[in-house]
Structure 1
């Protein structure tokens, strides 16, 4: 059977699209995510013939969140058109606003919806990137299907890491909140600093530890053609390393950006950024 999958991968975490491209019976297309829609696609953007939506909210790299009202619209549409719905909620513990909602809180109101939501805890609450400790919630049919394929699609978890992540979730909520608040402070600092230096934010992040920026039209007196072009010029000229997407570049706040403020400001101002 041929399957049509819609993802939040342009810009976004690329793995869902990569997996789709590997399967000969899957047709994949990215849902529209841009500055104009604030990186929140509309229910009507999902084709009625879609079989599966794989979304990622809070969104990497924009930091956009899913609100309760927005999730109700998506769930209602997917139930009406018999579309399975999955959300990668890896960054939910780093939500910087109470408006950030879970699919798991909304989807149970739609009994005929096939859905699931994934949670990845360790890499966020303790900077344990690569630990791959998580959990899945969802409708029984979706969970049963995941059980069939999971053992064939990953390497499993590491028990000591799983025990550590569970202990943190059960006994150190204060520590998790401290990490979240740290990232929020750094995000606000970097967005304000880079904005003052002429870089244009694509969206002010409401979750996570990434900032996303529109690539300028000119830097260092030269024309910029893409996010990649801008990223490589920044690396070559001033040593500022980002992750590029089509027309954007992402900068993280995993390090202490406040201590690097002078160097960061010098680098951005030296670039002489211009937008049309």
Structure 2
């Protein structure tokens, strides 16, 4: 391997169609449209391709056609932009486009897994069909953020119910649930090193006492984050940034 996962000046394209045996990648769909119509790359132009699973390669456009671009792979790049700690963000589903903003910023901040969930205070219980569409859209948002911020590994995105979300986060040795009445401050909880952290953030109006008790029964520690009340979408971003500052690679 050589170089870093983020090559300054080279355009980055996502594709799951990377064949290292043959030394080629294929770009299709919206990424192809962006390559041809927006950036107007030509045969022979250099770029970077990434698969969203941690691999990135330098390459050159070898052939352009109506439905695909064939990329000749060069050296594999060292993925140096991933966080040294694995952060799982459990976030209550938000209204409208706020979920998009949350996933975009969580990806930029280095989150490994984003689990959106419903609670008793969720504004409206989404249908299975709507959940599927939302998940697909948020995965596209994550890929776009991945390309922009220099990461190579896209966060896993799940949408489920609250108790299942708590279970998804129990693999982390440090598990935190934010609650405005918590007696422990976040600063105290982050006093010891941890290789993986789960942070749970509630909906507008916060978690109910029963939900906090359920989380605590699964090993979560209730923490607060200062005297001011933050919006749900703000709290998720702030929580991740503070964890990265205290234990990760920010600051």
Q: What TM-score results when the alignment is normalised by the length of structure 1?
A: 0.25
Give the structure with the larger strand fraction: 2
- The structure whose RCO (Cα within 8 Å, separation 6+) is larger is 2
Q: What TM-score results when the alignment is normalised by the length of structure 2?
A: 0.27
